[in-house]
Chain A
Amino acid sequence: MAQAKPKPRPMSPHLQIFKPWPSMVMSILHRITGSVAYFGFALLVWWLAAAASGPEQMVDVNALFRTILGQIVLIGLTWVYVHHAVGGVRHMIWDSGRGFTTPSIDLLARLSPVVSVAATAAIWAAIYKSAGVF
């Protein structure tokens, strides 16, 4: 008797099949920002190590961070860190048992990027103001 062809098994829905949804996009972003912050954190420790090494080393790293590329990286990492923190607060709200209705999940997810971008802009406006750039 001929062997029956194996029927393709039904596939579970996954990232490429689901329609993007605010809470889903924020969940993915939470993981991505966490991963980027993982390596970005080494930059902060690099500055600490440079400062602990001596005045020349600190001035050198400061100069690198002051370049255009350095500023873009630092502003980008600020947003990454703040966005991950905002995502964390969202999880804390859920952990407290609140915010589980569909509209509130949606609202929290849509608010997250607004809050993280606004906070990053405010932080860097304050940094440049404090540094006398404007």
Chain B
Amino acid sequence: MSIRTPLAKARGLGSAKGGTDHFWAMRVSSMASLLLTFFFFYAVFRLIGADYAGVKAFFASPVHATLSALFVAVNAHHMMIGMQVIIEDYVHKDPARQLLLMGNQFFSILVGAIGVLAIIKLSLGA
């Protein structure tokens, strides 16, 4: 017979581990994404019909470049943690689950990195 309490036995088991962090990250990233979306549509309207020089000129502005890079980075983060929940909900078997979770991170961070680098190049590049 153990003198351990039921709580001590239950701790660390089950699916709830870092749930609160994830929940809060979802809220923060969705609020950030919503605000930056207004800038995104502003950018779309500024760039309609723009030629290459016009596009470069738009991103040459530090405000435009910073907000664009944030829009890409915030959405890459938001889509990564969102897809993580979907995978965790529907795929229960390892290693498929682990591989999909890993692939999700690789894809989201890759998309974010390409987008941010492209904006930096457009903004600063010759």
**From A128, which residue of chain B is reached at the shortest CB distance?**
B48
CB distance from B47 to the nearest CB of A (A): 9
Q: Is A44 an interface residue (CB 8 A)?
A: yes
1/0 contact trace for B21-63 toward A, CB 8 Å?
0000001001101100100010011001101100100000000
Q: Quick one: given A45-B72, A52-B118, are A38 and B83 in contact (CB under 8 Å)?
A: yes
* Contact partners of B91 in chain A: CB under 8 A: none
Residue pair A48, B31 in contact (C-beta under 8 Å): no
CB distance from A25 to the nearest CB of B (A): 17
Q: Quick one: given A48-B118, A52-B121, A92-B31, are A130 and B45 in contact (CB under 8 Å)?
A: yes
* Contact partners of B12 in chain A: CB under 8 A: none
**From B49, which residue of chain A is reached at the shortest CB distance?**
A131
Most chain B CB neighbours (cut-off 10 Å) among A41, A123, A132: A41
* Contact partners of B122 in chain A: CB under 8 A: 48, 51-52
**From A127, which residue of chain B is reached at the shortest CB distance?**
B48
Q: Indicate the size class of the contact surface on chain B.
A: 20 to 34
Residue pair A38, B41 in contact (C-beta under 8 Å): no
* Contact partners of A29 in chain B: CB under 8 A: none
Q: Which of A41, A42, A51, A127 contacts B55 (CB 8 A)?
A: A51
1/0 contact trace for A43-56 toward B, CB 8 Å?
01100110110110
A-B contact pairs, 30 of them (CB 8 A): A34-B86, A35-B86, A38-B83, A41-B79, A42-B111, A44-B72, A48-B118, A48-B119, A49-B114, A49-B115, A51-B55, A51-B118, A51-B122, A52-B122, A52-B125, A55-B51, A55-B52, A58-B55, A59-B52, A81-B37, A85-B33, A85-B37, A88-B33, A88-B34, A89-B34, A91-B30, A92-B31, A127-B44, A130-B45, A132-B49
Interface residues of chain B, those whose CB is within 8 Å of chain A, are 27, 30-31, 33-34, 37, 41, 44-45, 48-49, 51-52, 55, 72, 75-76, 79, 82-83, 86, 108, 111-112, 114-115, 117-119, 121-122, 125
Interface residues of chain A, those whose CB is within 8 Å of chain B, are 31, 34-35, 37-38, 41-42, 44-45, 48-49, 51-52, 54-55, 58-59, 81, 85, 88-89, 91-92, 95, 123, 126-127, 130-132
| Other A-B pairs, 12, CB within 8 Å; known A34-B79, A44-B115, A49-B115 | A45-B118, A48-B119, A51-B118, A55-B51, A88-B30, A88-B33, A92-B31, A123-B41, A127-B48, A130-B49, A131-B48, A132-B49
